[in-house]
Structure 1
Amino acid sequence: MNRILVCIALLLGSVRDPLLAQNDFPDPNFDTKLDAEAFKKEYPSLLDATSFEVKLSKGNILLLIGKKYSQLKLVQRPDLLVRQFWAEYSPVIEKLPEDTDGTSVQYVLNDDDDEPQLRWKKYPQGTPDFTVVDKELVRLKTVQDTLHITMNKADQQAELYLLANDLRDIPLLLDEIREKTTYLLTSMEKRTDPVVLDRSPEVYGRYLGNRQVQLVNFGSDMLIFNPRVGLGYIRGHWMTSLDLGATLYLEKSPIKPTVGYQHQYFFGQNAEGGFKAYQNGFVLAGLSFFKKSEKGTIGRKPVVQTGQLTVGYLVQRRGTYYEPRTWRVTGAIDLTPHLRVAPEVYFNGTFKNLTPGLRLSVGL
């Protein structure tokens, strides 16, 4: 019966999106960002692509682990799963000898009619520690017990680890597990769309207590298109430009390559004295630079572009504005998300006829 109630609760929870969003919690504090590499080192060979840590009282810790954010819906109410385990096996746990050895329990639940699978393992404490109580030497337990619950449903799987000082303390932790886990997941979904979290190749979160939440989200890579129009002054002539660029935003790489094409229009007179537009074109390649931002977004990412460094080569030439084999080096600075200033240097051949230029452009 307990198992049926747990499955019903998990099913009801899994259809709510955003997760547990109806709870009215105080706004979390996101002052510090989670260091993903340091987080992984704390739990070597344990974490998966989506992993969350909840700091409980007295050094107890809860971990929620899955390959995707959506899979964590299977364990979004870890208190129910832990409660089910305790209801079935508390008589066994309470009869365990009170020694300093660690206990590891693996508990596997399936969505079919299979019985839960259970494995127990005892492992001795490495270095003995002692204290004095009532003038008697008492050996201290310094290793934590581990409750590892795996939830399988169809082709999805999620896990939770309860790292407890003593498995006998489970009843004292149930309310705390529910409240703190709900707060962490709700806070994350207030900050980042669950769809983005689910598409991200890596997501890590932590609840440290006292509304302190840490989050790092390695969102999926994306291709950013940058159409722009501009006005420039080059070699004593005014010109307008039309740019079309594309930047490959690689989430986990500091290098964001960009390619593009710039069409330039110079206006002058032809041999008959009439008005004529002279078109010149450059192919471009280089790097784009971004920074994290709480105010701006590109796609669904909280980033803004700060600048760009490109090298261009003349592929279309009309008029006498450029010599054959002309190169261009541009270092652009984004003044706002839409306004950019771009100092440039033009030359042909091996740095011949070096000429500065300047452009202002607006766009995406």
Structure 2
Amino acid sequence: MKKMICLSMLICSITGVVCAQEKKAVTNEDKTFELPADKITRRFWIELDKGNKMQVELVSINDLEQVGNLDSLVRTFLQDLLPLKDSLSDELSYKRIDYVVDAAKAKKIRIYKGRSNSNSYLIQQGEVAALKLEQDTIHFLGSVKSDGKSVHPYRFSFFVNNWNELAAYADGRLNDKLHSLETKYDRDWTRGEDGRMHLTKDYLISAKQSRGYLSRQGDELHLNAAVGIQNYKNYFVPSFSIGTAVIASSIFRNKLIRHEFGLYWEPNFFFGKDSDGKARVYRNDFLTLFYGRGAAEQPGKKAELSFTFSLSYLIHREGDYMAPHTFRIGAGRMSLFEGRTKLEPLFYFNDFFKKVTPGIRLIQYF
């Protein structure tokens, strides 16, 4: 018994997501020119021409209404860039330009230039010309107030063959595309041959998932521990459980759905007296298979399992409290106190649903 308690305490102390990753320190430059981490919930791509593309990143689709005139923003950007035009004159280097307009309407520009480690050339009709293969990237970063309260960042990004091609798109096309996205995004989406979802009413607008949702959910392995208390017939039975859960998304097509598979060892404790009249604890262990499904975690929205099912089998029996070969089914869990506490209805039975006994269990996760 002492060994089991020590083991449970050890596993509880390491409960959490099993992962190892280094976090890069956030610099003042990152805070100025990069999107805040885990804020964006929607991402859309808009095809332009000549292989050029535009990317739209938002917290809420409703923010588009407050962004304003994108064509005008592009023209203002090009005007602000004129004093720096000489620094962009090297046509063979690829550029990344970050353009930030803050709440006080102050503008900040960052320019990065890079070159490939190799030289590329185009030979045509005996003429040799240097060849640029990488596109230029221009980011427009700003923010709007949502409902007059929360500040929502947004970013429009252009991936173009040459940064000065951006001027040709500020002729009303960009505003038209944003208007099309804003008014049609909640309609039908079609999966294209490229594997992406395309807006049926405007096929040039696409996203990885329908309606542009971003899923933060990847495949994860969790070590979980919990304590519980339930009724069985006229007994009051405490328990604890230890096991692993796999959060799977890569094997499923729809990554907006969270699938959880778990395997748990669960000792249940009955208190009684032995043949000598001495108080004794009788341990009855279940091995439990668990499956849950629900919406994947989104920024600002916690993942919740809308459907759960568990099947348990009695693998260790002490005393005469439970019949040999007892099974237990749990169907559905109600979340309490921010999701760490669950209430689950149970059904115990043996010999193919003979002697069915209902119960209810309160589970507290660590």
Which of the five TM-score ranges fits, normalised by the shorter chain? 0.3 to 0.5
TM-score by length of 2: 0.44
TM-score by length of 1: 0.45
